[in-house]
Amino acid sequence: MSKLRVESFTISLDGFGAGPDQDLNHPLGVGGTALHGWAFSTRTFQKKLFDSDSGQSGIDDDFAARGFQNVGAWILGRNMFGPIRGPWPDESWRGWWGNNPVYHVPVFVLTHHARPPLVMEGGTTFYFVTEGTAVALERAREAAKGKDVRLGGGVNVIQQYLRQRLIDEMHIAIAPVLLGAGERLFDGVNLPELGYACTQHVATSQATHIVLSKQ
């Protein structure tokens, strides 16, 4: 069976995976963009986000690149798709990423409010799932056709899947940044009790990378 993986999810030294007060001007919450300096500088992200051949190779890039390998579908929480809350006022919001998002595979967005599928350029289609986490995972695995499913977040969605022991592997990057407030990734989550262990760790000048695997 395909794996459910978290990749390149970055937290601060004080454990926050997003800053407070997400809005249109602060997609990752206030201060949250500072978490991802390690990723933005890599060759992988420069290519994915800006279609640029610049960027750095090395350990950070290796971890960034592995997050796109053997991925056949994604799952996102609604906050990862956009800053709009409640019922959709219309269908004008089409994500943070322009007409050609980085995914290039089906993406299943968890929401309490139905919306028709959104077809984008490059092979990305957003499907809006109102039936909960289990249905989203079932549909994502079917769409992935044997490949892995990448769980993009945010924090609350990752916690839901963690507590059900549905995540097979997590790559977490710890950035040398203090946020002071926001959403703590492991708040109220007992990883050893759930059967997770650290199976890899390596540090660079911009982040400490750890891999947590279900035992």
Count of other CB atoms within 10 angstroms of residue 181: 13
For the stretch 144-175, pLDDT in tens is 999 999 999 899 999 999 999 999 999 999 99
Whole-model pTM? 0.94
CATH of the domain at 157: 3.40.430.10
Establish if 179 belongs to a structural domain. Answer: yes
Asked if 73 contacts 107 with a C-beta cutoff of 8 angstroms, the reply is: yes
User: What pLDDT, in 10s, does the model give residues 45-75?
Assistant: 898 888 888 899 999 999 999 999 999 999 9
How many structural domains does the chain have?
A: 1
- Residue 203 domain boundaries: 4-86+100-214
Question: How many residues in the chain?
Answer: 215
Q: Is the pLDDT assigned to residue 183 strictly greater than 90?
A: yes
Mean pLDDT of the chain: 94
* Mutual angle of helices 59-66 and 43-50, in 10-degree steps: 50
* Per-residue pLDDT tens digits for 115-129: 999 999 999 999 999
pLDDT band with cut points at 50, 70 and 90 for residue 27: confident
Sorted by sequence, the CB contacts under 8 Å of residue 36 that are 6+ apart come out as 10, 28, 175
**For the chain, percent of residues with pLDDT exceeding 90:** 82
pLDDT of residue 36: 94
Give yes or no for a contact between 155 and 129, defined as CB atoms under 8 angstroms apart. Answer: no
For residue 91, being part of any structural domain is answered with no
Q: Determine the pLDDT at residue 84.
A: 85
Residue 185's pLDDT is: 96
Q: What pLDDT is attached to residue 26?
A: 85
Which residues have a Cβ under 8 Å from the Cβ of 25 and sit 6 or more positions away? none
Give the pairing of strands 4-11 and 16-18: unpaired
Q: How far apart are the first and last CA of the chain?
A: 16
Is residue 92 situated within a structural domain? no
**Residue 13: inside a domain, yes or no?**
yes
- In-domain check, residue 131: yes
Question: Would residue 93 count as lying in a domain?
Answer: no
Specify if 95 maps to a domain: no
The CA-CA-CA angle for residues 191, 195, 199, to 5°, reads: 80
Question: Is residue 18 situated within a structural domain?
Answer: yes
Amino acid, res. 16: F
